[in-house]
C-alpha cells in the first residue's frame, strides 16, 4: 500500500451510523458524493498487492475519481478508510472478492475490534 489521501470534515460525527459496506463496488466519486461532510476519508491504493502495479491514486496519471473502484471499506463514527483499485484492474473476480471481504485485511482500519 502506498499513496494515502486524507480529507477531513470540521464537524462532529454524524448521528446516523453509515452502512460502510454499501461503498464496496462504488467508485470514489460516488462515495465522496454520499459521505457526510463531517466524516474524514482516507483512500489507499492497493494496486501493488492485488495487481502487481505501482500505486498511483491521485498522481498525475491516475485519471478521475470515477476510475477508482472501492474494494474494501471500514471505519468508525468519524473516519472512513477505503481500499481502491483502478477500474482497469477491477475484474469480476476482484469484485466478488471485495463483496466477500477478502481485501479487508489490507486496511488496518478493518482490524479486529475489542
The answer to whether position 95 is within a domain reads no
Domain interval for residue 11 = 4-80+101-107
pLDDT at 49 over 80: yes
The 3-class SS string of the chain reads CCCEEEECCCCCCCCCCCCHHHHCCCEHHHHHHHCCCCCEEEEEECHHHHHCCCCCCCCCCCCCHHHEEEEEEEECCCEEEEEEEEHHHCCHHHHHHHHCCCCHHHCHHHCCCC
**How many structural domains does the chain have?**
1
The answer to whether position 93 is within a domain reads no
pLDDT tens digits, residue range 67-110? 999 999 999 888 999 999 999 999 999 999 999 999 999 999 98
pLDDT tens digits, residue range 24-44? 999 999 999 999 999 999 999
Amino acid at each position: 500500500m502506498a499513496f494515502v489521501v486524507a480529507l477531513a470534515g470540521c464537524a462532529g460525527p454524524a448521528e446516523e451510523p453509515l452502512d460502510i459496506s454499501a461503498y464496496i463496488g462504488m467508485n470514489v466519486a460516488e462515495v465522496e458524493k454520499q459521505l457526510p461532510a463531517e466524516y474524514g476519508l482516507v483512500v489507499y491504493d492497493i494496486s501493488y498487492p492485488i495487481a502487481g502495479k505501482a500505486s498511483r491514486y491521485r498522481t498525475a496519471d491516475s485519471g478521475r475519481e470515477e476510475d477508482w473502484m472501492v474494494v474494501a471499506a471500514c471505519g468508525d463514527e468519524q473516519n472512513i478508510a477505503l481500499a481502491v483499485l483502478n477500474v482497469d484492474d477491477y475484474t469480476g473476480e476482484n469484485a466478488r472478492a471485495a463483496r466477500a471481504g477478502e481485501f479487508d485485511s489490507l486496511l488496518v482500519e478493518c482490524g479486529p475490534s475489542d
